[in-house]
Amino acid sequence: MIMDYIILPLYSWKNGKKTCFPRSSMNQSNARGRARDLYEVYIPIPYEVRTTYPDFFPGEEFDLFTEDLNFSAKICQQDDKALMTNPNSDLGKWLFEKLGIEKTRPNEVVSYEELAKTGYDSVKIKIIDGKYYILLMPVGSYENFI
């Protein structure tokens, strides 16, 4: 199936409930193994999206545009389950600023409830003239997409 956009959640699911795990995705800055930037994040690419739209993303690094910024992005992690930028903090700084969430200290955890209060819980990645664009989407957009 060829699509010119996909919608990705900024959260995961656990026991049928939306959640932001404390050491991944929006909270990747808390992951163990090395020192991390306060704004380090990645956007999860759920199994349903990876299998339904396996060729949506290019196989190599690509430019990801916002309304006023340009990130170097790529698909990472085992089974291509994460959208990341280089550096990882570029995406996080943009997301937190747009969401109006202020990170003030290391180990701070963003909960799904805090994310939902912003009115957004997902992003749309859209291809226009061969370029990839990202924008925030309202709560429930991922479920409507799938």
The full set of domain ranges for the chain reads 5-145
- Output the pTM of the full model: 0.94
- 15 vs 18, 51, 54, 72, 120, CA distance in Å? 8, 22, 26, 34, 22
Domain 5-145 matching CATH 1.10.1670: the answer reads no
φ/ψ (deg, to 5) at 123: -130, 150
**How far apart are alpha carbons 101 and 121 in whole angstroms?**
12
For residue 125, which of 6, 25, 45, 1 has the smallest C-alpha distance? 6
Which tokens in the block code for residue 61? 């690094």
Task: From first to last of the 146 residues of the chain, give the pLDDT tens digit.
Answer: 568 999 999 999 999 999 999 999 999 999 988 888 899 999 999 999 999 999 999 989 999 999 999 999 999 988 889 999 999 999 999 999 999 999 888 889 999 999 999 999 999 999 999 999 999 999 999 999 99
